[in-house]
Each structure stands twice: as C-alpha cells, then as structure tokens.
Structure 1
C-alpha cells in the first residue's frame, strides 16, 4: 500500500484497534481461477507469538479451496470515507491551485492462511465472533439460544480460516497534508452535512495538521 508519511499509521496497536473497530475484512486470495475477494467478519487475536486473524466462510464458497494449508493472502479493512471538494479549501481563493481528493481510513494485512475444517474450532470461532458483536446488547444472543440440531447443521455448512499475520499497515488520510486554514474550512463544510460527513469532520479534527 502506498503510504505517504503524512498518512501512515506508525503504531501497530493503532492498526489493531482500527481492525477491531471495523472487523469486516475483504479477504483476497489467488488460485487457479485467478484472484478472489470476499468480505468476511474477522476476529484479531494478539498473542506473544504474533497476531492471528480468524474467520469463516460458506463451504459452498470456492475461495477456501484456493487457501489450502499455507497460502499467502491479503485482507483489507476500511473505515470512514468521504469526498473532499477543492471548493472547500481556503487556498482555492488564494491561489486556485487545488484539486479534488478523497479522505479515508484503511488497514492492509498480509498473512499465511490455512483452512480449519475442525468442528470444535469452527464452533469456538462462531461463538467468539457472535459474542464480540452481541456483548453490548441488553440481552445478547448466543448460538445456544437456537436449537442444537439447527446450529449443528449451520456449522457443517461453513469452514474456518486462520491467518497468521506477517505484516500489517494502516493509512488514515484525513487532510493532514493541508494547511490548517484548509483543514478548518473542510471541517466546517463536512460538519453541516449528513452523519457520514459529520463523522469525517470529527476524524479530521482529531488529527494534527502538516503545518
């Protein structure tokens, strides 16, 4: 991933936090049929031995057959994004030397994947993933809430994927390269927009400028 210094996320813990906050990753693999990509919910485990992504996919999804035991894969995670108009920059009035751009937050993970077709591993993966998303609800749902035969059938219809992370990088493009007067103007225009624009305004406000 192209990473100008302004936008590079230098702290590994910041990248990990971003992945956990945006767990739907795009798994990209290469196989005999070419490249494949599928969005999958991921769990990131950090241990003394390194980071591991855990996920699962439908058994009917042929992508898992390209993974086997030791395939190199890439996973992309994306957060907030928004178009930035050159008309929002104070610099437009001063020089006119401005162009459109896009602000966004992304993380890229490389790793070695293997298929986990073990019922106990898959059951734990589904339980952990469900708990990670349900824990904030007043009455969290759990797989045990459904009939056991139904859950067993659902689990047989999926396969697990474990990815040993070999590299991860984050890129938060939030107008850090613009003068402070441009950043203030962009924030003002965004915060008057919809919730997506307002979220981006808050993210830009949280970053240090390049001045």
Structure 2
C-alpha cells in the first residue's frame, strides 16, 4: 500500500478498533498465478501478543483450498470514506490550484493462514461471530436457537480460516496534508453533509481541537 508519511497510522489498538468497527474484510490470496478475493466477516483478537483474525468460508468456495495451511494472505478492511470537493478549501479562493480527492481510513493485515475443518473449532467461531453482531438486537438470535441437527449440517458445509497476523498497516488519509484553513473547510463541509465519522477523523487527525 502506498504510504505517504503523514497518512501512516501505527497504533495497533487503533488498527484493531477499525477492524472491529468494519469487520467485513476482503480476503486476498494468490497461488499458481491465480488471485482470488472474497469479502468475509472476521473476528479479531490478540493472543500471546499476536493479532489473530478468524473467519469461515463455504466449502463450495475454492479459496480455502487455494490458501492451504501456511499460505500468505492479505486482508483489507475499509473504514470511513468520503469524496472531498475542492470547493471546501479556502485555498481555492486564494489561488485555485486545487483538485478533488478522496478521504479514507484503511487497514491491511498480512499473515499466514491455517484452515480448520473440525466442529470443535468452527462452532465457537460461528457462535462468537453471531453473538457479537446480535448483541444489541432486542431479540438476539443464537446458534442454539436452531435445531442441533441443522447446525451440525451447516458446520459440515464450511471451513475455518485462522490468520496469524505478521503485519498490520494503517492508512488514515483524512486531509492532514492540507493547510489548517482547508482542513477546517473540509470538516465543515463533511459536517454539513452529516458525514460525522469522517468529520471526526479530520478534526482529530487534523489537530482541530475546537471542532
């Protein structure tokens, strides 16, 4: 990933927080000159100081056999993003030498993948993933709500993917490279469009303490 110095985010707590907030990652693998990519919801955790990603794929999806145990993979997590119009920049009125751009926050995780096919691994992963996304619902659904024979059959149709992350890379491109007046203009423009997530990032990373 192209990384100008002012956009680099290295705090792993921040990087993991983006993954937790935007867990649908794009799983990318390459083998024999072929490249596969699939969107997959992940769980992220830290075990013995190592960040671990866990997910599952349908057995009908060829990527799991494409990966194989010990294969290198890349997972891309996309956070908040927004088009930025030059009309928000004060420098547009000053000299007009401005162009549109796109702001975004992104994490890329690289590591080695292990494939799991046993129900002893798969059921806890599926249950934890379900519980996480059902937690705030008034009538939270649990895996145990489905008939046991049905659940067992579903587990036989999937495989688990566990990735020991060797490198987490973060890029927060949120107008830090613009003059303060332009950053304030971007913040105001995003706020006016009700894009509070990106406005908050511009304010925080742009040092706009009074926004």
Report the alpha carbon displacement of residue 79 of structure 1 after superposing the two structures with TM. 0.8
User: What residue ranges of structure 2 are gaps of 5+ in the alignment?
Assistant: none
Whole-angstrom CA distance in 2 between matches of 1:135 and 1:33: 42
Correspondences of 1:144-155 after superposition (within 5 Å): 144-155=144-155
What residue is the counterpart of 1:206 in the other structure?
Answer: 204
1:19-71 C-alpha deviation (Å, 9 max, x unpaired): 11111110000123610000001011202241111000111000111111110
Q: Does 1:109 align with 2:113?
A: no
What residue is the counterpart of 2:183 in the other structure?
Answer: 183
Q: Does 1:64 align with 2:64?
A: yes
Task: Point out 4+ residue stretches in structure 1 off by more than 6 angstroms.
Answer: none
User: What residue ranges of structure 1 are gaps of 5+ in the alignment?
Assistant: none
SS of the aligned residue for 1:167 comes to strand
* Aligned residue pairs, count: 208
Report the alpha carbon displacement of residue 207 of structure 1 after superposing the two structures with TM. 2.0
1:124-162 C-alpha deviation (Å, 9 max, x unpaired): 110111111112223321100111111111111111001
Report the alpha carbon displacement of residue 209 of structure 1 after superposing the two structures with TM. 4.3
The answer to whether the Cα contact below 8 Å between 2:175 and 2:206 also exists between their aligned partners in 1 is: no
Q: 1:89 and 1:49, CA in 2 relative to 1: closer, same or farther beyond 3 A?
A: closer
The answer to whether the Cα contact below 8 Å between 1:110 and 1:168 also exists between their aligned partners in 2 is: yes
Correspondences of 1:1-211 after superposition (within 5 Å): 1-32=1-32, 34-193=34-193, 195=194, 197-209=195-207
The answer to whether the Cα contact below 8 Å between 1:7 and 1:176 also exists between their aligned partners in 2 is: yes
Report the alpha carbon displacement of residue 203 of structure 1 after superposing the two structures with TM. 2.3
The answer to whether the Cα contact below 8 Å between 1:6 and 1:176 also exists between their aligned partners in 2 is: yes
The answer to whether the Cα contact below 8 Å between 1:79 and 1:105 also exists between their aligned partners in 2 is: yes
RMSD: 1.5
Q: Give the TM-score normalised by structure 2.
A: 0.93
SS of the aligned residue for 1:176 comes to coil
Q: Give the TM-score normalised by structure 1.
A: 0.93
Whole-angstrom CA distance in 1 between matches of 2:207 and 2:84: 16
Report the alpha carbon displacement of residue 200 of structure 1 after superposing the two structures with TM. 1.9
Report the alpha carbon displacement of residue 185 of structure 1 after superposing the two structures with TM. 1.1
